[in-house]
Structure 1
């Protein structure tokens, strides 16, 4: 499908959150996907990913995940300075504030004239974590999580017993987890920890490990695997459908 683009400024408890919306040009209502970015926010590769998903027949909303810590429209570069700033933002923003961002997007999508009201979540890197976390929201029906970081380590700031690993037992949505076998951010022992934990707590999940590095979806840089990325877009589209 041919797609179109617009922006929206959403009110959240921690301030204004700029979000980009991609949707089919075709008239009608479509199911929605909240697409969470990496620490670098809405970069060119993230925009292209959102456009691909919209072309599969979805309304896709992409938030500035660290909106309260940066000027509106801030995009970090894929360099050491950008990585340092993005990681600093990651350690500063609480999971509870991400939860309230998700709720703001849910409420927006439920009233958005081009959306059916059915909502899924998807993300890459920390965005994969946030997509998984979003499944705690009763309005999120499915979550597709690509190489989600920091779930196994409980390192993101949160209130006591509100970390994502502990709260995973409360997720009722179906979750699809994809990891690269060469990903140093979620190595084999971390993946085994997650797999066993989710198995024991009854999470409804699909598990996939692929021969790839971290950030294999990002179509800039040496880690990009184009054939695998195409397969993941098709898998995600089928999963949400």
Structure 2
């Protein structure tokens, strides 16, 4: 399926969020994926993945997750400098900022004729965590979280009771959680902790 790509600058309580949109280049309305990048924002691999999903009939939104902390259009390199800056940004932005970003994107989606109202989320690395975070919104019916980081520890700033794993009861959709067996970002004991806590809920 042919696709088209463009962007929207979405207003959020913490500033304008450049959001890249990849969608089918045909008439109609389609389900939406909120697609969260790693700490590097929309790099080439993220853009290619978004376009691939769009070619299968989805509207894919890729927000600049650290829009408050960087000029519009910033893409960090897959190098030491990029990792250092991205990790610094991760430690600087609290989860409430991601929540208001999600609300703003969902409201944007509701206003687009090419979106049919069905919304899911996915992401990689910190983006996996942010897809998990997006699932707190009732409009998000499912989230695919690929090697989501920092779910097991208090790294991303948050207010008391607002850590993502403390909000499990607010997730009403489905979760797909995927980690690599040899990924040393998330220790085995952390995966066991997340697995146990998820199994204590009604989440499917």
**TM-score with structure 1 length normalisation?**
0.83
- Across the two proteins, how many residue pairs are aligned to each other? 204
Gaps of 5+ in 1: 205-241
Separation in structure 1 between the aligned mates of residue 116 and residue 13 of structure 2, nearest angstrom = 25
- Taking the TM superposition and a 5 Å limit, the aligned residue runs for 1:148-187 are 148-187=148-187
Alpha-carbon contact 1:181-1:187 (below 8 Å) kept: no
Greater percentage in helix? 1
Shift of 1:200: 1.2
Distance in 2, Cα, partners of 1:43 & 1:102 = 20
Paired residues of 1:30 and 1:114 also in contact (CA < 8 A): yes
Residue 68 of structure 1 corresponds to which residue in structure 2? 68
RMSD: 0.7
Mapped pair 1:45 → 2:45: yes
Task: Return the offset for 1:202.
Answer: 2.7
Partners of 1:138 and 1:202 in 2: CA distance: 15
The answer to whether 1:131 aligns with 2:131 is: yes
| 1:4 matched residue in structure 2 | 4
How much has 1:113 moved relative to structure 2? Answer: 1.3
Gaps of 5+ in 2: none
Q: What is the aligned partner in structure 2 of residue 83 from structure 1?
A: 83
Query: Aligned equivalents of 1:73 and 1:104: distance in 2?
Result: 19
Shift of 1:203: 2.3
Cα distance in 2, alignment partners of residues 66 and 173 from structure 1: 26
Q: Is 2:195 aligned against 1:189?
A: no
Distance 1:24 1:171 in 2: 29
Is the counterpart of residue 115 in structure 1 residue 106 in structure 2? no
Higher RCO (Cα < 8 Å, 6 or more apart)? 2
Report the counterpart of residue 203 of structure 2 in structure 1.
203
